[in-house]
Amino acid sequence: MSQFYHSNQRRIRANVHIRELAATVNLNHKEFIQPLFLDEGINQQTPIATLRGVNADTLDSILQQIESDVKAGISKFLLFPVPAKKGTSNFDYSFVTTAIKQIKKTFGNSVWIAPDVCLCAYTTHGHCGILDAAGTKVLNDESVKELAGYALQLAQSGANCIAPSDMMDGRISAIRNILDTNRFDDVSIMSYAAKFSSQFYGPFRDACKSTPGDDCNLHNRKTYQASSLNKNDAVLSTLRDINEGADIVMVKPAVLYLDVIHELSTTIKVPLAAYHVSGEYQSIELLAQHNIIERDKAHLEIWTALRRGGANIIISYAARHAKEWIEKMEY
C-alpha cells in the first residue's frame, strides 16, 4: 500500500502484549462486592427464578456460600434480608442480626459485611419507609428514625458497613450520628446516593418480595427515588450524602447512568460504587442462556465500561466469578 498515514491506530492493537500495555482500565476482583439474599422463609438454599445463577440462602447455607465465595477471591458482601413476617410497624430485625453474628463468628475479619438498610422487604406495602394513615405518602422523619435504629442494631451485631438504600432525606446524618454516639465510629456508611426510580429492579424485588403492592395508594417509588430525567438531583443528593458522612457513595442502576458515574467521578473524592442491578444482570444472563452472547465476556465488557466511566467499586451478582473471569480475560 503506497498511502502513508499520519496516525496508524492499528499498531496499538496489533497483538495481545501491546494491548495489555496500552490498556487504560484494568479490572481487579478485590474491587467487587457480591450481593447475598438471606431468606427467613426457606429451609434450604433455593435458586431465585428471576436471577439466573443466584440463590436465596438460609442461616446455614449462607455460611457455606460465603466460604465458597471467599475461596473464589470475593470477601466483600452486600446482605439483603428477606423476613418471613411483614408489617407496617414494630419490625423485627433479629433474623438478620443473628445471621451477621454467625457470619462474623465464623469468618471474622476475613470478610466485610454491608447489610442493606431499608424497610421495603419488611413492609406489607413494599415501600422503603413508613406510610401515612392514608397510604399516600412515605413519612420522611418517622422513616429515618426507624432506619437509624435498625442501623444501630446491625452495627451492634458486627456489620462492617451500613448501606442505606431507602432514599429518605437526612438518613445519612441520622445514621452517622447514632453510630458515633454509640461508639461505632469505625463502622462505615455506603450510601445509595444516586438511586434512580427504575424498571430494572424487577428481578431483585421478586427475590426480596418487595414490589410496592396494591394495599396502599402509592403504587411506585417516584416520590423518593431520583428521576431518570433529572441528573442534577442525583448529583446534589450524592454531594449532600457525602457532607452528611457517607464514606462510599453509589449510583444505581449502573449501565443506564454511566453519565452520572462519570460526572461524579470527576467531582467527588470518596470511593464511588456502581451497582449493576438485577435487571441489567438478568438481561445478560438471558442472552447468554440462548447462546446469543458469551456470558463471561459480556459481564467483563460491562465491568470494564463501569471502571472506564469512573467507578471504583462494582456491585455485581456475578462478582463471585470476577477473579476467574478476569484472569482469563482476553485483551
Q: Name the DSSP class of 123.
A: B
A 10 A CB-CB count for 109 gives 8
Which phi and psi angles does 137 have, rounded to 5°? -150, 140
Indicate if 209 belongs to the active site.
no
Compute the distance between CA of residue 142 and CA of residue 144 in angstroms, rounded to an integer: 6
Looking at 30, 71, 104, 195, which residue is catalytic?
A: 195
Distances (CA, A) of 2 to 5, 7, 10: 10, 15, 17
Among 273, 30, 27, CA closest to 163: 273
DSSP-derived 3-state class of residue 189:
strand
Is 78 within 8 Å of 38 (Cβ atoms)? no
Compute the distance between CA of residue 216 and CA of residue 15 in angstroms, rounded to an integer: 60
Residue type (1 letter), 51: L
Indicate if 71 belongs to the active site.
no
Helix %, strand %, coil % of the chain (to 5)? 45, 20, 40
Residue type (1 letter), 201: Y
Q: Name the DSSP class of 260.
A: H
Is 233 within 8 Å of 208 (Cβ atoms)? no
Looking at 76, 86, 252, 323, which residue is catalytic?
A: 252
- Supply the DSSP string of 64-87, one letter for each residue: HHHHHHHHTT--EEEEEEE-S--B
Annotated catalytic residues are 195, 252
